[in-house]
Structure 1
């Protein structure tokens, strides 16, 4: 989630609807300037007992952040507490229970973003070994109750933790017990954004299946392959879901703006503090009628903050976020951008991907989304085939898109090799969660603690 680094120097009051639309329009870039931003979270645990460390304890999350400054990271403070880091590789931030996230810098190709991920993992493992902590790559804590998990000292999280139980039963699990991999991608124009949004949204269940990696809750199988994905179905209906309007004729910035303005607010950031306005209306804020700030109209940064509190399967800010994947190992951190760049950054691949899904109806897309957390690659598409069958064709499209990009590293390799982990999943027909369950029921003998030695970075 977004971490504040002060009010932008160029921040200004919103004077009109055009100021809001400009937030989306400023993301438009020619194809030569399109970049790839990869975000990945991981769980932090004590080597000695697999406990999740608190913020304040010796060798805990605060000490982990402070120690990472030796690699050139700069502290980001909230009051007198370090709550994030910034540097050339983007930002390191904390999720509500201490999940450790790298929001990577915009990179030109997947070679660069994968190198960045490797550099980050080397750094955190170096410090982790010194502090006695490890890092687990899964979509959900496999053995922790909510009560066993710490809370990070970030003002926005206190507001959200208080609000979540009022609007859904699983929102606290989303905040405290899940981790994800996400990819942020650019667009050339409003029309290009709409095409990419539609393809990304329709195929998000396929990404969920390919990356499904959260089959355990509190030490036992939970009946799902991606429980993390299921959690989103009962987190907050006002700000989650498949956004049917994206597929309507004429979809663009205006329609997404109307949706965003109807999502209730969480907070307003002023003078280094978060003001609790949970459930209140951004439309009222635009009219100067927000009870917490009577007579005051919002800044542009207030709107960009608000956009960061909306959680659909694909999210629009000044770029598009692909949000359907569970957390996982280094290879899949690199595979997710490979999948989406291959599909969305080449016009031929984008057209071919749209041809696969353009005839799907609203109910079919929703049924697929609802079934994939349990069924994974066995879930049926609106055409009646499995996601496994669709996945074979979609991976071939992504490979063709990456080959067309011809993004080479120093050895002359293009980016399509990063799809190998996904090709292996499709070839076997088994999701990562299926494999975890097989080991749990087989060689692990039901001992969930084995997951720490086998799934850590």
Structure 2
């Protein structure tokens, strides 16, 4: 979850909210790639979760990393809860259960994303290793119960944790026990945004299958290849899902803003204080009649923060966020950005992929979304397996990246970052399938070896 925005500019109308989103439009020459990933920390000795406080806790990790890389601390109630790179635009933040998140800077190429990740992991290792802390490459913590998972001291998380059980069965698991990877991409116009949003929503379950990597919960297989994705199906239906209205005629900025206005609020932040307004309407805040803060009126930061508390499979802010994938090892994190960049930043690739999904109905898209967490590449849509569809989509992504012709220092273009996904499709097994084979084989029915094997090196 991104760092909260601070902008006290008043807003008083729906049109201003639409304009706020529209301001994200950029010419294609300015399109960038932003990559975010979360990773679950653990103590290498004993494989226990890492609390916030203590000489070897998360706070010590944040403090040490800040000194090492020179980023500015983000502080709440006197406690460091993240780091900000004021020059480059990146940030490090803490998820509710201590998941350590890098929100990468907006970069021009997938190669730069790979370098950013390599530099980040090297810096984190330099601080974490002396503390005895490692990080899992899995999309869900494999061993600890929710009660054993630490809680980070962030005001918004306390509000969310109290609200989640009222609107779903698994929201607390989402908050405290899962890790994702996300790619953020730009759009050039309203029509471009709509095309990209439609395609990425339709294909999000395909990405979920390709990156499925959360097969263990509470020390045993959970019956899914992406339990993280399954958890989102029962978190809060008012703010999650496949957004079928996006495919309706007339879709545009206004339709998304109207959707967002109907999503209940979590909080309003004033100064350093988070005011709990869960379940209340942003429309009331806009009109100055919010029950939780009578007379208080909406600001630009309220709108930006509200948009950040909506969690569909693809989210629109001033860019588009691909949200459907489990985190994985470094090559998979980079592959996610390569996959979506190749599809969405080349018009021929986008058009070709749209032809694949054009005939899918809302019911079929939802059926695929529901089936993929358990079936992965074996799930089907319109009589075809996800594995078959993935093969075609990856070919289009590869063609899109090849056309971009962005070479690294060795002269290789961005297509090499898709090789790991091609291998998964060729093998027909997700990362989760491979881990389950290990569990049933060399691991002897224990998840403990995951803390040695499924880790960032």
- Shorter-chain TM range is over 0.9
Tell me the residue number matched to 1:439.
Answer: 438
Whole-angstrom distance in 2 between the partners of 1:72 and 1:330? 23
Q: Per-residue deviation at 1:89?
A: 6.1
2:70 is the counterpart of 1:72: yes
Tell me the residue number matched to 1:53.
Answer: 50
Tell me the residue number matched to 1:16.
Answer: 13
Whole-angstrom distance in 1 between the partners of 2:112 and 2:277? 40
Tell me the residue number matched to 1:273.
Answer: 273
8 Å CA contact 1:114, 1:334 repeated in 2: yes
Whole-angstrom distance in 1 between the partners of 2:189 and 2:10? 25
2:74 is the counterpart of 1:82: no
Tell me the residue number matched to 1:428.
Answer: 427
8 Å CA contact 1:371, 1:379 repeated in 2: yes
Residue 148 of structure 1 aligns to a residue whose secondary structure is coil
Whole-angstrom distance in 1 between the partners of 2:254 and 2:69? 43
Please list every run of 5 or more consecutive structure 2 residues that lacks an aligned counterpart in the other structure: none
| Cα offsets for 1:83-127 (capped at 9, x unmatched) | 010113600000001000000000001000110011111111111
Two-structure CA RMSD over aligned residues (Å): 0.8
Residue 325 of structure 1 aligns to a residue whose secondary structure is strand
2:27 is the counterpart of 1:30: yes
Residue 376 of structure 2 aligns to a residue whose secondary structure is helix
| Cα offsets for 1:348-407 (capped at 9, x unmatched) | 0000010000111011111000000000000001x2110001111100000000001111
Tell me the residue number matched to 2:331.
Answer: 331
Pairing of 1:301-340 with structure 2 (within 5 A): 301-340=301-340
| Cα offsets for 1:238-270 (capped at 9, x unmatched) | 000000001111111010001000000000010
Whole-angstrom distance in 2 between the partners of 1:335 and 1:306? 30
Residue 146 of structure 1 aligns to a residue whose secondary structure is coil
2:392 is the counterpart of 1:390: no
8 Å CA contact 2:12, 2:287 repeated in 1: no
1:302–1:91 CA distance, 2 compared to 1 (3 A): same
Residue 38 of structure 1 aligns to a residue whose secondary structure is strand
Whole-angstrom distance in 2 between the partners of 1:321 and 1:437? 30
**Structure 1 runs of 4+ off > 6 angstroms?**
none
8 Å CA contact 2:220, 2:446 repeated in 1: no
Whole-angstrom distance in 2 between the partners of 1:16 and 1:270? 20
Tell me the TM-score normalized by structure 1. Answer: 0.98
Tell me the residue number matched to 2:453.
Answer: 454
Whole-angstrom distance in 2 between the partners of 1:40 and 1:67? 20
Q: Per-residue deviation at 1:292?
A: 2.2
8 Å CA contact 1:268, 1:302 repeated in 2: yes
8 Å CA contact 1:89, 1:116 repeated in 2: no
Whole-angstrom distance in 1 between the partners of 2:141 and 2:418? 26
Residue 309 of structure 2 aligns to a residue whose secondary structure is coil
8 Å CA contact 1:19, 1:300 repeated in 2: no
Tell me the residue number matched to 2:210.
Answer: 210
Please list every run of 5 or more consecutive structure 1 residues that lacks an aligned counterpart in the other structure: none
408-417 vs 431-440, which deviates more? 408-417
Q: Per-residue deviation at 1:15?
A: 2.5
Q: Per-residue deviation at 1:413?
A: 1.1
Whole-angstrom distance in 1 between the partners of 2:314 and 2:44? 35
